[in-house]
Amino acid sequence: MDGPVTERDAREVAEAARESEWRRESFVRDLFDGKARLDLVDPYPQPDAEDEARARPFLEALEAFLHSEVDGDEIDRTGKVPPRVVDGLRKLGAFGIKIPREYGGLGLSQHSYTKAVRLVSSVDGSVTALLSAHQSIGVPQPLKLFGSEEQKKRYFPRLARGAISAFALTEKGVGSDPAAMETTAVPTEDGQAFILNGEKLWCTNGTVAELLVVMARTPSRVVGGRERRQITAFIVETDWPGVEVVRRCEFMGLKAIENGVIRFHDVRVPRENILWKEGAGLKLALITLNTGRLTLPASSVAVGKRCLQIVRRWASERMQWGAPIGRHDAVAQMIGTMAASTFAMEAISELCSLLADRPDYDIRLEAAIAKLYNSEAGWRIVDDTVQIRGGRGYETARSLAARGEPAVPVERIMRDFRINLIFEGSSEIMHLFIAREAVDRHLKVAGELADPHAPLSRKAAAALRAALFYATWYPARWLGWGHWPRYSSFGPLARHVRYLDRASRRLARSLFHAMVRFGPGLEKRQAVLFRLVDIGAELFAMAAACGRAQMLRRASGADGGGATEMADLFCRQARRRIEESFASLFHNDDAYTHRVADQVLDGAHRWLEQGLVRERLPPAVEEPAPVEAGRR
Ligand SMILES: Cc1cc2nc3c(=O)[nH]c(=O)nc-3n(C[C@H](O)[C@H](O)[C@H](O)COP(=O)(O)OP(=O)(O)OC[C@H]3O[C@@H](n4cnc5c(N)ncnc54)[C@H](O)[C@@H]3O)c2cc1C
């Protein structure tokens, strides 16, 4: 199957890589089914005391090292993480935080790793990328999850000592959709090895890595009469013949990220370097990312906290129009929202890290929401911080310092942050991933009804199954007590928890209504699906915020040092956003907007692009002159 990749091919590849089973607990999975499992967030999970005690000296040493040795502005200016910083991190064990102790790592939990990420991200994004590309998605994590004992013995000690690793999936034609992968791994005649050929794009750490996880196409297999593309993950050593760093890429931010184009020319990879098994590469990548994705939410929290600190100082000292700018209502609105959002982001990140450490918990949906929610909320915080700093928000730290003002690096923070909404699953892909799981229960019951390839007999059976299922499922999504005195133990937050309880049933009903209304076409109504996902994400954020405030209140008495107020404000704002999403679920301008977008893409509105200097680069395709407005 080497022709052009069709939509069906792309979907089949994605479906084959999906974990189809749900055997462990999941708050979000149940939420979309109309059940608010508050017992999973209250009591808020607690860290393991032994792990915390072992992590403490490491985290203290890391903080001291970052404080004295890491200058984010210098790293940004020079485009290099200094070797002494990389070596210092190696000595601290920062390249093996989660690698088991028997192989030379620190053997710490996801929760402790999250804390380390927060510390690093509070000083420099490029250093976060270095550590995270290595151990969130690089070799250590898939090796821990899927490696053989022999592979672990061979590679873990090297990785723990600081052999840098990277993850190579993306290619020119392979971004969010891996179906068109062109890198191939062809078995040798004796079957002992594979010959790797191809080129990988944007591989973070790739220019300095010793070890790579490389995704490559291995020979297709016939499943159910159809040829299925196979993608396999290999551990590749960069000093093997045929591995070449073609170039280092440059970006808007993260100036010191060691990211590049890596070429493989007839690289011989021994069969024993397959991770997990042949054909399981994409599934491995998705499962690795379930926890790997928790780095960015933690790093967003650190940025939120840093921005809050910058804004608190600046907005209380900067006087304009006879008052500190933070006392003017417009700025105060931003600051209050920023504080409440930072609290919720931390609640989400902590909750997900703690749940990820539980073997009986399935973190995949929560991690996707955490990535989506914290990167989006973090971006709004960064944007508001630039606004509140005014002209100084746009000025580089170096220029500020040269003028004798504090070198506040908001401009760098903004450049470094933007990519968080794109890599490790863009916001759009996270929405689609969550939406797919949200409708999964319904697809299992009634999916065949909408399948054009299903024979009539199977459709009839599906119709009966669906009728029986929905006869009880649907009425139950109207029943349930989400009013006083339920959840009174949450004190001032009880009303939000009751709302959450009611809204979870409304969400499940709305999802069902959308399926009935649009049928199989729902898949194409991304704006509708995204609103449903956003409601679920806001409800999860509310649950995390209330659970955390409740925990802090119990621990410190009174209002948990202000946590109740933060959770209260966050929930009030989240509820407004949820109500807006519900209101515009079926009453919106989606179809109109899509129609205009189609016209734009078809060139009908090129008149809007008139009045520009001609491009220096010739357009890829020769375009006819645009027709003026009103002459069409
Ligand atoms: C700094 C940096 C570091 C990176 N590090 C690594 C790395 O270490 N390893 C690695 O393998 N890759 C890495 N990447 C690649 C990164 O993961 C991809 O950029 C990302 O997956 C998106 O792919 P793309 O850029 O090709 O966008 P595309 O997939 O082309 O998407 C473009 C836009 O279309 C949207 N879109 C795509 N499909 C759909 C759809 N079905 N519905 C709705 N919207 C859609 C996307 O959300 C996005 O907004 C890195 C990239 C950068 C810039």
Determine the pLDDT at residue 17.
Answer: 83
pLDDT of 3 over the 70 cut: no
**Ligand 1 centroid to residue 11 C-alpha, Å:** 17
- Count of Cβ atoms closer than 10 Å to residue 37 Cβ: 16
Question: What pLDDT is attached to residue 1?
Answer: 47
Is the pLDDT assigned to residue 208 strictly greater than 90?
Answer: yes
pLDDT of 8 reads 79
- Name all contacts of 9-14 with Cβ < 8 Å and 24+ positions apart: 9/179, 9/229, 10/177, 10/179, 10/180, 12/179, 12/226, 12/228, 12/229, 13/177, 13/178, 13/179, 13/229, 13/231, 13/282, 14/177, 14/178, 14/179, 14/282
Conformation bin of residue 171: beta by default, left when phi > 0, alpha when psi is -120 to 50: beta
Over range 16-37, report the average pLDDT: 92
pLDDT at position 616, please? 83
Q: Would you state the pLDDT for residue 628? A: 63
What H or E segment, with its residue span, contains residue 555? helix 526-556
Residue with tokens 């600081």, as numbered in its chain: 162
* pLDDT band at residue 11 under the 50/70/90 scheme: confident
> In whole angstroms, what is the distance from residue 111 CA to residue 608 CA?
51
Q: Which of ligand 1's atoms lies nearest the C-alpha of 204? A: 8
Ligand 1 atom closest to Cα of 427?
Answer: 47
Does residue 590 register a pLDDT over 90? yes
Nearest residue (CA) to ligand 1, atom 48: 426
Atom of ligand 1 nearest to the CA of 251: 1
Q: To which residue do tokens 């891996």 refer? A: 178
pLDDT for 631 beyond 60: no
Least confident of 2-6, 42-46, 187-191: 2-6
Distance, CA 579 to ligand 1 centroid (Å)? 31
Please give the distance, rounded to the nearest whole angstrom, from the Cα atom of residue 175 to the centre of ligand 1: 5
Nearest-CA residue for atom 16 of ligand 1: 423
Most confident of 97-101, 436-440, 612-616: 97-101
Atom of ligand 1 at shortest range from CA of 432: 42
- Does residue 337 surpass a pLDDT of 50? yes
DSSP state, residue 630? T
Q: In angstroms, what is the span from residue 404 Cα to ligand 1's centroid?
A: 40
pTM for this entry: 0.96
Mutate to test the pocket of ligand 1, among 202, 211, 264, 286 (most ligand atoms within 8 A of CB): 202
- Pick the residue whose CA is nearest to atom 7 on ligand 1: 203
- Indicate the top mutation candidate among 423, 434, 522 to test ligand 1's pocket, ranked by most ligand atoms within 8 A of CB: 423
Position with higher pLDDT, 455 vs 319? 319
**Three-state secondary structure of 217-240:** EEEEEEECCEEEEEEEEEEEECCC
Pocket test for ligand 1, best of 422, 424, 432 (most atoms within 8 A of CB): 422
Mean pLDDT is highest, among 20-29, 42-51, 176-185, for: 42-51
Does the pLDDT at position 218 exceed 90?
yes
Mutate to test the pocket of ligand 1, among 176, 299, 418 (most ligand atoms within 8 A of CB): 176
* Residues annotated catalytic, as ranges: 424
Q: What is the mean pLDDT of residues 79-107?
A: 98
Residue 629's pLDDT band (cuts 50, 70, 90): low
pLDDT band at 632 (very low <50, low <70, confident <90, very high): very low
| Nearest CA owner, ligand 1 atom 17 | 423
Q: How many CA atoms lie within 13 A of 327 on its CB side?
A: 9
What's the gap in Å between 425 CA and the centre of ligand 1? Answer: 7
Q: Which atom of ligand 1 is nearest to the CA of 137?
A: 8
Q: How many whole angstroms from 532 Cα to the centroid of ligand 1?
A: 23
One-character DSSP codes across 556-604: HSTTTTTHHHHHHHHHHHHHHHHHHHHHTSSSSSHHHHHHHHHHHHTTT
pLDDT in tens, 458-502: 888 889 999 999 999 999 999 988 888 999 999 999 999 999 999
On average, the pLDDT of the chain sits at 94
Residue nearest to atom 35 of ligand 1 (CA): 428
Whether the CB-CB separation of 5 and 179 falls below 8 Å is answered with yes
Compare 69 and 622 and report the one with higher pLDDT.
69
pLDDT average, residue stretch 545-561: 89
Residue nearest to atom 44 of ligand 1 (CA): 428
C-alpha radius of gyration, the chain, whole number: 26
Atom of ligand 1 nearest to the CA of 259: 3
Which is higher by pLDDT, 19 or 270?
A: 270
CA–CA gap between residue 293 and residue 127 (Å, rounded): 17
The rounded Å distance from CA 226 to ligand 1 centre is 28
The counts of H helices and E strands in the chain are 23, 9
Pocket of ligand 1 (CB under 6 A): 133, 166-170, 175-176, 202-204, 251, 254, 257, 259, 419, 422-423, 426, 428-429, 432, 526
Residue 107 Cα to ligand 1 midpoint, Å, equals 31
What's residue 192's pLDDT? 97
**pLDDT on residue 351:** 98
Pick the residue whose CA is nearest to atom 5 on ligand 1: 204
Give me 563's structure tokens. Answer: 């946590």
Ligand 1 center–CA 177 separation, angstroms: 9
Q: What is the pLDDT of residues 497-528, one digit of tens each?
A: 999 999 999 999 999 999 999 998 999 999 99
Mutate to test the pocket of ligand 1, among 284, 426, 594 (most ligand atoms within 8 A of CB): 426
The residue type found at 149 is E
Using the predicted structure, report yes or no on whether residue 355 has a pLDDT greater than 60.
Answer: yes
> What is the number of the ligand 1 atom nearest to the C-alpha of 174?
26
Instruction: Kindly state the average pLDDT of the residues 101-107.
Output: 97
Distance 176 CA to ligand 1 centre (A): 5
Instruction: For 269, list phi and psi in degrees, rounded to 5.
Output: -110, 115
Among the atoms of ligand 1, which is closest to the Cα of residue 254?
Answer: 1
Q: Is 550 exposed, middle or buried (0-12, 13-18, 19+ CB in 10 A)?
A: buried
